[in-house]
Structure 1
Amino acid sequence: MSRDPGLQPERTLLAWSRTALVLTVNAALVLRSGLAARQPGLTALGVLLALAACATYGYGLRRRAGLERRPARIPAGPLRAMAGAVCLVAAAAGWCVLLGPPG
């Protein structure tokens, strides 16, 4: 019995691209703020966000290639790791914003 995956794989791949785009925009904003305020912690956070954006986009491309070969389930490990990394970076960004210089 063959299963029709419908548009779900395509929506999932688009979600990876959107997530990478959002991370890239946030990385640019955090980098700009860190460089303008001369805060090395904020600048390092921007670099980490940029790396997370690249990793997210790369994983999305790898998933796309895998789905073109054969549809398969997404392993839970990379998804949990990416979710944890995004939460950690978001918490660090909030911490830097709260402890940053006023004004």
Structure 2
Amino acid sequence: MTGRALFDPGLQPERTELAWRRTALAIGVGSLLSLRVLPAVVGDPVWAAAWLIPGIAGLAFAVLLWFRAQLRHRRVTAALLDGRPEDLPGSGLMLMLTLFVVGCGVLSAVVVLWWT
């Protein structure tokens, strides 16, 4: 390609990273809310402690997602600036998020079915 850039440097990868950051932030806030609300709803101290596990796991996942999004942003920017589209990252981050959301959905369904 002569004289044409493959992308607008910085804008598209940065918008994508910001979207991943918002996703991580939403998961983190939801996890903090679950840490605050679920123990009060459950009432029993033994079960309340068990309900802290999903909230803590969600917070850990949000932090992991945040850092993986930053790493992905750096890799995408470097690959596009160097003109090496074969070095673009795959869909691992999306798969990780999908598995987390499906796991949360299954856990929620089990809790609702068991609790009622």
Contact 1:27-1:50 within 8 A present in 2 as well:
yes
Matches within 5 A, 1:57-96: 57-71=66-80, 73-93=88-108, 95-96=110-111
Q: Aligned letter for 1:83?
A: T
C-alpha separation in 2, matches of 1:78 and 1:33: 29
Q: Which runs of 5+ in 2 are unaligned?
A: 81-86
Does residue 4 (structure 1) correspond to residue 7 (structure 2)? The answer is yes
Measured after TM superposition, the shift of residue 45 of structure 1 is 0.8
Q: 2:52 aligns with which of 43, 52, 74?
A: 43
Q: Aligned letter for 1:65?
A: R
Q: Tell me the matched-pair count.
A: 101
Cα gap change, 1:100 to 1:22, in 2 (>3 Å): farther
Measured after TM superposition, the shift of residue 86 of structure 1 is 2.2
Contact 1:31-1:46 within 8 A present in 2 as well:
yes
Measured after TM superposition, the shift of residue 78 of structure 1 is 3.5
Cα gap change, 1:64 to 1:54, in 2 (>3 Å): same
**Deviations along 1:25-64, whole A, 9 cap, x unmatched?**
1100111123323423321111111111011101111112
Q: Which entry has the higher C-alpha Rg, 1 or 2?
A: 2
TM-score (norm 2): 0.69
Q: Which runs of 5+ in 1 are unaligned?
A: none
TM-score (norm 1): 0.76
Considering only aligned residues, what root-mean-square deviation do their CA atoms show, in Å?
2.6
C-alpha separation in 2, matches of 1:54 and 1:86: 15
C-alpha separation in 2, matches of 1:101 and 1:90: 15
